[in-house]
Amino acid sequence: MNYTLNQLQIFLKIVETKSITKASELLFLTQPAVSIQLKNLQNQFEIPLTEVIGRQLYITPFGEEIAEASRRILKEVNAMKHKTMDYKGFLTGQLNIAVVSTGKYVMPYFLSGFLQKHVGVDLKMDVTNRFKVLESLEQNKIDFALVSVMPDNLEVERIALMQNKLFLVGNKAHAKNLYNKKFDFILKNLPLIYREKGSATRKAMEDYLSTRQITTKKKLQLSTNEAVKQAVIAGLGYSIMPLIGIKNELQDNELHIIEAKGLPITSSWNLIWLKGKKFMPTATAFIDYIQDQKDTIISENFKWLENYEFY
């Protein structure tokens, strides 16, 4: 057999998500790339690893056994790597982080320098909605979480990283027709596109509309920030979205920010962890790194957020 460690890692992510699309998003790969690696792994076996019924992907019983074997293999490989690095005197271990969906535009910049400095440190970063992020934190499955809305039911400590601003956006061509429309008309009469329940962006959007007693006539719900963005670009409706995730689309004139009362909604990105958590050396070193390098990272990568002008 000629399967690779990369194929096993990709297969495990498919098993975890039950979806090639979701696996590709979490691995920052294209769907075709993930599909090809799954096919290459499948070619090593005469028995199916997965099956598709209707539009849903399922893992076969044989696939579950291969997934369990893959976990053991990758665990041993990581153990060998860490032992080697230990002998060389390097910091080793795994950093476990859960990030809300739009945090994927933020967190990599705060990780890059740390991982380059400590080559013996592995990273496991789950990108999902706020509900699942906080669930992982509450169950102590992760070291850190990145959120834009602080939990009200957990005792946590935090490092405030940077501002998060949300604006009302629309398709460039459609938005031009709204210049002479009143604010209430925009939000009450046009279709609004929401993230799924459990999303921090959805919560911010619902809170904003609720405080202004605005009821929308038509709602669309999509499961990812990227899906919402593409729907708005296609002209399906309007949405309140984080500026951090639409920079390129604004520059390419695919999206347009619509001036509205009470916007932008401003919060902050926070790196949080359970109060009293006993950290391994890897996590402790990461906190030290963030506290020391935070301002530099923000200045080098996110200065445009503070200075962005859209009028």
Last residue of a domain, one of 33, 49, 73: 73
- Same-domain check for residues 250 and 262: yes
**Higher model confidence: residue 175 or residue 220?**
220
What local confidence, expressed as pLDDT, does residue 177 receive? 60
The pTM score is 0.69
The SS3 of residue 84 is helix
56 in a structural domain: yes
- Same-domain check for residues 131 and 153: yes
83 in a structural domain: no
Residue-wise pLDDT for 147-203, tens only, equals 998 998 899 999 999 989 999 898 877 666 655 555 566 666 778 899 888 888 888
- Same-domain check for residues 273 and 263: no
Q: Is 266 exposed, middle or buried (0-12, 13-18, 19+ CB in 10 A)?
A: exposed
- Same-domain check for residues 140 and 278: yes
Residue-wise pLDDT for 231-259, tens only, equals 999 988 889 999 999 988 988 889 988 88
What is the mean pLDDT of the segment spanning 218-229? 86
- Same-domain check for residues 35 and 175: no
Residue 248: name the closest of 133, 169, 185 by CA: 169
- Same-domain check for residues 52 and 191: no
- Same-domain check for residues 262 and 282: no
Residue 139 to residues 98, 127, 282, Cα–Cα distance (Å): 12, 17, 20
User: Torsions phi, psi of 279, nearest 5?
Assistant: -85, 150
- Total domains present in the chain: 3
- Same-domain check for residues 200 and 155: no
The span from the CA of 181 to the CA of 200, in Å, is 28
What local confidence, expressed as pLDDT, does residue 204 receive? 87
Residue-wise pLDDT for 125-154, tens only, equals 998 888 899 999 999 999 999 999 899 889
- Same-domain check for residues 272 and 158: yes
In 88-182, alpha helices (H): 107-117, 130-138, 172-176
84 in a structural domain: no
What local confidence, expressed as pLDDT, does residue 267 receive? 87
What local confidence, expressed as pLDDT, does residue 137 receive? 95
- Same-domain check for residues 132 and 156: yes
Looking at this protein, which amino acid is placed at residue 68? Answer: E
* Residue 147 parent element (H or E): strand 144-147
- Same-domain check for residues 175 and 291: no
The CATH number given to whatever domain includes residue 106 is 3.40.190.10
Structural domain boundaries enclosing 191? 163-267
Q: Is it the case that residue 48 has pLDDT exceeding 80?
A: yes
- Same-domain check for residues 20 and 96: no
What is the mean pLDDT of the segment spanning 74-79? 80
Residue-wise pLDDT for 87-119, tens only, equals 566 677 889 999 998 899 999 999 999 999 888
C-alpha dihedral over 137, 140, 144, 150, to 10 degrees? Answer: 30
| HSE toward the beta carbon, residue 197, CA cutoff 13 A | 0
